[in-house]
Amino acid sequence: MSADTPDVYDEFLDHVQQLSYVADAGGLLQWDQQVMMPEGGTPARSKQQSALSTLHHDLLTDDDLGEYLATLEDTSLDPEQQAVVREVRREHERARKVPRDLIERISEATSEALPVWEQARADDDFETYAPVLEELVDLRREYAEAIDPDRDPYAVLFEEFEPHLGLDTAERILGRLRDELVPLIDEIADSEVTQPRPFDGTYPVDEQEALVRAALDDLGFDWDRGRLDTSAHPFTSGTQFDARITTRFDEEKPLDSLSSTIHEFGHATYALGLPDEQYGTPLGDARDLTVHESQSRLWENHIGRSQAFWEHFMPTVEDHLSIEASAEDAYRAVNRVYDDNPIRVEADELTYHMHIVLRFEIERDLIAGDLDVSEVPAVWNDKMEEYLGIRPDTDAEGCLQDIHWTNGTFGYFPTYSLGSVLAAQLYDAAEAAIGPIDDAVRAGEFEDLHEWLTQNVHRHGKRYTTDALIEEATGQAYTADHFLEYVTEKYTGLYDL
């Protein structure tokens, strides 16, 4: 190919789109395994997933793709084309370093690990799960070493989920959250203020499902391009044409299903806000997990936990759950800081980040070889006591509660806190642009916020790197200032500090 070949970019783009379609097909198989697949389907599904992962790897490392990238290096491209080439080149160069058989082994291992984890959690049996976790840790170490044997393997794995902010940024942000939130949490624990608990009781699953569906209707979920199901661990999967939410229900915890559904709505809204015409290219794909988590945490916390939302939504709750409570009491209840909750996905807005710090420190030590898998339950419980003053009664409530390590996604957890921090920064920028968001939420009007997020975040796909997208959307560099100001003002008010 010569640099002046007019069709080279189109040929390159066709190759990239095939990559995307294969990845999306694999995503549908993963969704099906967690939502609808019969229990006995794992042996076949692991082979199917392995075949698709291998095909994706082959397409990504293909010599033709390397030739396209080399040619396009000397070709005049517009900014959007340059962004596509930048993103594909990064993935291509990383993938070429990873042996094909390692991709197959990782895919099969993670697929086969899922039912083992589900059963181990149900049985509170870490010993059964430990060999699986050990294999996954070894495979991920091997993966990181293949990409760059001279770097911190955890930093290499973190870049799978956040390639542009850097592990040093994650460590700085998490360190600041630990240093500034723990004293606030301690002050709240010493406060004599107790929050109302109007949601204590038992609520049938069908009534809770009707409620969360009503919430999705209210927020503007596009049912023509989305659906809601249940799974062991809530998640969102899909594209701008097909975004699938899952949640889970507990008859005694109706707020948890509502909160997790609104959280997943934020993820789905990001997917649905990506440009249709760019599907199959990096410009039609989300900008990694810090930004993705910012969308879910913005909707879950800044909207779903706001007093304005409960002033608007409480009548709907009363209709579905027959709860008689004031919007003020509901607002206080959903923002109660739990000093006795070991479960991350049920955690309040403040203690949540100590759950993330704990997981970050453990998985970093696992990957570094400084912590043996057999030590995980004890270290987990010790850190839980250090950061939150509680010890889980069981491993099912402790180190077995999350699916992430089972999926092989070491390095994912920090993005939850990074996304929460970004959510506050984006919320403040949106409010500066469109006016008081609480007034709109109180009136049940969410369209302006949707539109601002779509125009300033979603529609760009991966045109910008994470740091550049943040500056483009908010006018300033990434900072934890907005988040810490937000939670300090909110919780000092709630607890009369």
**pLDDT by residue for the chain (497 residues), tens digit each?**
444 556 899 999 999 999 999 999 999 999 999 999 998 999 999 999 989 999 999 999 999 999 999 999 988 999 999 999 999 999 999 999 999 899 889 989 998 999 999 999 999 999 999 999 999 999 999 999 999 999 999 999 999 999 999 999 999 999 999 999 999 999 999 999 999 999 999 999 999 999 999 999 999 999 999 999 999 889 999 999 999 999 999 999 999 999 999 999 999 999 999 999 999 999 999 999 999 999 999 999 999 999 999 999 999 999 999 998 999 999 999 999 987 889 998 899 999 999 999 999 999 999 999 999 999 999 999 999 998 889 999 999 999 999 999 999 999 999 999 999 999 999 999 999 999 999 999 999 999 999 999 999 999 999 999 999 999 999 999 999 999 999 999 999 999 99
Residue 145, in any domain of the structure? no
DSSP 330-353: HHHHHTPPPSS---GGG--TTTHH
Interacting residues of 159 by C-beta distance below 8 A, sequence separation 6+: 167, 411
Is 361 one of the annotated active-site residues of the chain?
no
Q: Are residues 199 and 310 in the same domain?
A: yes
Q: Are residues 105 and 173 in the same domain?
A: no
Instruction: Please say which residue of 91, 124, 157 terminates a domain.
Output: 124
Are residues 207 and 113 part of one domain? no
CA 32 to mean position of chain CA atoms: 19
**pTM summary value:** 0.93
Q: In this structure, is the dihedral angle defined by the CA atoms of residues 191, 192, 193 and 195, taken in order, positive or negative?
A: positive
**Is 261 inside any structural domain?**
yes
Asked if residue 323 and residue 432 are part of one domain, the reply reads yes
Residue 6 pLDDT: 60
Say yes or no: 253 and 318 in one domain.
Answer: yes
Tell the burial category of 49 from Cβ atoms under 10 Å away from its Cβ (0-12, 13-18, 19+).
Answer: buried
**Domain-embedded: residue 274:** yes
Instruction: Mark whether 404 and 294 lie in a shared domain.
Output: yes
CATH number of the domain bearing residue 288: 1.10.1370.30
Nearest residue to 336 (alpha-carbon basis) of 118, 188, 114: 188
Q: Are residues 329 and 442 in the same domain?
A: yes
Give the Cα separation of 310 and 331 in Å (integer): 6
Query: What distance in Å separates the CA atoms of residue 316 and residue 310, rounded to the nearest whole number?
Result: 10
Residue 471 belongs to a domain: yes
In a domain, 1, yes or no: no
Q: Based on the domain organization, do 102 and 221 belong to the same domain?
A: no
Q: Do 357 and 266 belong to one domain?
A: yes
Give the domain range for residue 448. Answer: 167-494
Q: Which two tokens stand for residue 370?
A: 């400084």
Q: Give φ, ψ of 242 to 5 degrees.
A: -160, 90
Within a domain: 46: yes
Assigned domain for 2 exists: no
Note whether residue 157 is domain-resident: no
SS3 call for 228:
strand
108-119 pLDDT, tens digit each: 999 899 999 999
Same domain, 195 and 99: no
As a whole number of angstroms, the distance between CA 266 and CA 248 comes to 16
Q: Give 497's DSSP letter.
A: -
Catalytic residue among 264, 293, 349, 363: 264
Tokens of 323: 């709860």
Instruction: State whether 191 and 106 are in the same domain.
Output: no
Same-domain pairing of 25 and 174: no
DSSP 302: I
Of the residues 61, 95, 124, which one is the last residue of a structural domain?
A: 124
Write the burial class of residue 188 (CB in 10 Å: 0-12 exposed, 13-18 middle, 19+ buried).
Answer: buried
Question: Contact at 8 Å (CB) between 427 and 302?
Answer: yes
Which of 69, 98, 124 represents a domain boundary (last residue)? 124
Question: Domain count of the chain?
Answer: 2
